[in-house]
A and B are shown apart, each in its own frame.
Chain A
Amino acid sequence: MVIISCVQAYLIMSGQHLSGPSQPGEAVWFGPEPALGEVCLPGRIYIALNPEEVLLVETFSDTYSALVSALGQADYAGAEWFAVELIQHREFAPGILFKFDYPVSKKLLTSLLPMFYETDFPFASIDCIFVPKEMGPVQFINTAERQAWQFQPDLSWHVFAAAVAEPGDALEIRWTPLPASDSYSVAAGVYDIAGPALLAVPDWESEEIDFEALVRSFYLGPEVIEESDGTEIYTDGVRALRIYPHGAVEYTLVSAENGQGQLTQADLLKMSLSFIAGHGGWPGRMLPTELENSPAKKRVKFADYAAGLPVAAEDTGVAVEIDGLTVSRYQRKLIRAKPGSVSEHVEVRPFAWLISQPTTKIHQLFVNQDARIHIADLALVYYWHMDTLIPAWKVTLGDRIVYAGAADGRVLAARPLRGN
């Protein structure tokens, strides 16, 4: 009795529950949780016909799936790794360049390449994988460090050879390596469109969520605060689930853990996928486009893809932020393209051309810099702005990300780049 009393007193004083609380979300089911291998996929796949001519495969197209699947079957053949210094884009042609929007750790890479062990890889992380057309060594590339590790695995070479020989499911836009200039340098594997081209902008619709189920997945009996613009806040005083009138969802938990605890990329993604699946469900056809895993912040953002290109904006997609080992923030607003629909065609211009035009805002932004800018990545996206999908260049610089209109070079948004 004395021992039990002491234990109970200790538990009470240390603020712990004597019995486990019921989990609100247990009774609500939004669908299955995706496997890590389903989302640990490259954001873009370039088919390098030759060093100057490159095609961009539509993400989630059949070709994309075939190439990813073929890559996933790569087997360790026992050959030696050797490192090379990355010099120029010509090293990536002809062949297939798989490009990730974030540095992929070797542990997470084993989700994409299940025949490998984490210890098989001699590097810490990479952001590109180049598979040559003619059975040459496969390069695992870290563009930020300008390093590549070559290795000769067993592969279904014919799949890659066929993709190069007869490119399918590629945008009808020719790409070419972005050349460096006096005002900026360019990382390896950065491609710009070769010339002006018309880009079909799909029609869109917002994701429809069962809000009642969503609320129940968080609370048993929350209090509701109604804001002046019609926004509803479901809260218990410590957590708040905000449902905006336009359908966006924002969940906030004030955590006292202050960044304590460490996670691997795989753990971060797993936790995020689990949380998303339990609170609104996994909508499919999403890939992580931003992944930060530092002691200060652990955040992953998944972007929807429309017509093979990601839909990007600050307030679109699904973002999960983890503080310590608890999800402290969850934002969800999905702009989903209507399959096969085209709302308009927009003429997009090469980034190099836009940046060279003194009249464009992006030119002004670049010119006004004190030091030479380094362009780490360049991607064509649909930027969600004012209820419109706008073709835009997502320019990843050394310290920030800038969204510039692909038609007119206007700066749509700029935000600091968080560490990975």
Chain B
Amino acid sequence: MKSIQWKLVLIYILLLVFALELFGVYMLSSVEKHFTEDLQKGLHNQVRLISLLAERYFAPQPDSAGLQQLVKQYSNLVGREIYLLDKYGIVVAAPPGQKLMEGKKIVQPEVVSAVQGTADSSIRFDPHTGYRVYYYSEPIYQLNSLVGVVYASASLQNIDRALNTMRNILLTGAVWTLLLSAILGLNLSSTITRPLQKITSRAEAMKSGDFRQKIDIRSRDEIGRLAETFNDLAAKLQQSWDEVIQEKDKIEGILANLSDGLIVFDHSGKVMHINSTACNWFGLNKQVMLSQGTAADFPQLESGRGIIYLEGEMGIVLRQQRLPFLQAGKKQGTIVVLSDITEQHRLDRMRQEFVANVSHELRTPLTTIKTYLEALLENPDEDSAIQRKFLKVIDSEAERMVRMVEDLLILSRSEIRTQEFKLVSIGDIIRDIVQGVEVEAANKGLMLEVRIPKDLPPVLGDRDQLYRLFLNIVNNALSYTAEGSIKISVFSRNKYVEVTVADTGIGIPAHALSRIFERFYRVDKARSRKAGGTGLGLSIAKQIAELHGGTINIISREGHGTEVIVPLPVAPENVLESGAHV
């Protein structure tokens, strides 16, 4: 019974049943009362009439013959059982068929009452006929003296039968009325419920987010006004919804493009919102998190520490910041803002390592210098050869410190002077370097092969720094190549000028390949120092290459040699057309 239409019909039927029942009861009782009163009135009149007619037969003594003839004919005429009794209640005249009653005394209550001077009546059930019978008794007076009694009865058989018939008619009529009314009620109620169903279906559609619903009901009644209000409501909801969607899209766009991660938990720990950045960091599905994610899915956050390390010390480093999520002044949950500080953290580490390395690298020659100087101071009379030897060592260490400082200055300078580039010929730089190291290569018995094409395009850069870049690479090749050759080749390819320095030296172990560009990193520290390296050569080279838009790729096999490839971008054509100096 979920439909209001059925409810209306049910109420309608119930009311109808109640009304019909009430009407039936009232009708039957009224008809019974009317018929009974009519019968009683008729009998009373007949009794009164016969008492008037019989009056003259009672004085001075009841004239039985006269009374019997009167009763006989009158009873036949009116169709009632009428008895005439003397003043003692003894039957003087009985109706036809009841002659045996004559001479007998009737002691019914109504007769006793009439003998005492008061008319009386009663209704009793007649077991022989199965119907009720109305009995009435009235005294007969003559000159104010009671001389006899009229006792009459009338069967209520016809009334009872009529009432039964009427009851059946009413019942049948009620059933048909209810049936027809139910059908009519269904049709009529549908005129009310159909518009409501329309409104409901539109509201259902609105529930699913479609606010463009419009109801076409033009009646002026309450339903019509409801439809108008619904249409207005739908329009306003559509407008509000559009604004909300726009705001939501805006916020979601902001949150999605936010470099920081954002997670909002409610007071029970359920994820209320999470942006894509956070999902990516934690490797979680955003939709799953929004639907069923909890704080338990983020165990890293539970420690409450400010710094969170994902995937170990070398992975992503996040800084966690917790803020209360307030709505209407009440805390509804917690906002967790995660910032990626991986690079910052790496730079911090590098700086720390750099400072430690610089300190370490500077302390070593200083310690040596201090040691030899203390020895000279403590032994001024030492042999001059020894003193000279000590001073050479001091000078050598000082020279190394100078180189180290120069390298550090170069590193810092290259970091600073990034915008003062000019057109530079790589071929010229390589030729200058080869010219400078030819002697040393020859001294070490190494074959130096150089290939430089004539039409090599210039690059945009700082000539000194590029010179330092390639000099460091060539020096490294010379330092770690004991025999064999060093091949230097330059060529242009895909708008890059690519310089390759290949040697047949000791090569680099595989595990060290990833760290060889770190400052002060040495594969073999002792050998490196012996070779006079500062541990900053490749770092400087890589930094210079990257500052010029290039890179350094090293292909090495331990014991077989190393190939260093430096591609640098050719100067843009607009720069070339401007005629920058090479």
Contact = CB atoms under 8 A, between A and B. Distances in A.
Nearest to A223: B77
Given A15-B34, A252-B49, A254-B45, A237 B77 contact: yes
Contact of A254 (B30, B38, B48, B77): B48
A130 to B, nearest CB: 38
Interface string B22-45: 000000001100100010011011
B66 A240 contact: no
Contact of A227 (B42, B44, B70): B70
B42 A252 contact: no
A3 to B, nearest CB: 17
B175 interface: no
Nearest to B46: A237
A225 B73 contact: yes
Contacts, number: 52
Contact of A225 (B31, B48, B74): B74
Contacts of B69: 226-228
A13 interface: yes
A13 B46 CA distance: 22
Contacts of B30: 13
B45 A235 contact: no
B245 interface: no
Contacts of A242: 53
Interface string B455-479: 0000000000000000000000000
B52 interface: yes
Given A228-B65, A235-B77, A237-B77, A254 B52 contact: yes
Interface string A224-255: 01111100010101111010000000001010
Nearest to B79: A237
A256 interface: yes
B53 A237 contact: no
B78 interface: yes
A238 B77 contact: no
Contacts of A13: 30-31, 34
B125 to A, nearest CB: 26
Contact of B42 (A226, A229, A233, A238): A238
Interface string B41-62: 1101110110011000000000
Interface residues of B, number: 22
Nearest to A242: B53
Contacts of B65: 228
Main secondary structure of the interface of B (DSSP, over half): helix
A228 B53 contact: no
Interface residues of A, number: 18
B41 A256 contact: yes
A246 to B, nearest CB: 13
Nearest to A416: B144
Contacts of B31: 13
Interface string A208-233: 00000000000000010111110001
A19 B52 CA distance: 31
B45 A256 contact: yes
Contact of B49 (A15, A227, A229, A240): A240
A398 B123 CA distance: 46
Given A252-B49, A252-B53, A254-B48, A237 B78 contact: yes
A228 B62 CA distance: 13
B70 A239 contact: no
B102 to A, nearest CB: 16
B301 to A, nearest CB: 82
Contacts of A225: 70, 73-74, 77
Interface in B171-225: none
A223 B78 CA distance: 10
Nearest to A233: B53
A227 B72 CA distance: 10
Given A228-B65, A228-B66, A15 B48 contact: no
Contacts of A256: 41, 44-45
Contacts of B46: 237-238, 254
A289 B73 CA distance: 37
Contacts of B63: 228
A227 B66 contact: yes
Contacts of A235: 49, 74, 77
B64 to A, nearest CB: 10
Interface string B417-459: 0000000000000000000000000000000000000000000
Interface of B: 30-31, 34, 38, 41-42, 44-46, 48-49, 52-53, 63, 65-66, 69-70, 73-74, 77-78
Interface of A: 13, 15, 223, 225-229, 233, 235, 237-240, 242, 252, 254, 256
Given A237-B42, A240-B53, A256-B45, 12 more contacts: A13-B34, A15-B34, A225-B73, A227-B69, A229-B66, A237-B46, A238-B45, A238-B49, A239-B49, A242-B53, A252-B52, A254-B48
18 contacts: A13-B34, A223-B77, A225-B70, A227-B66, A227-B70, A228-B63, A228-B69, A233-B53, A235-B49, A237-B46, A237-B78, A238-B49, A242-B53, A252-B52, A252-B53, A254-B46, A256-B44, A256-B45
Identify the 8 closest CB pairs spanning chains A and B, nearest first: A225-B73, A254-B45, A254-B48, A228-B66, A237-B78, A254-B49, A223-B77, A238-B45
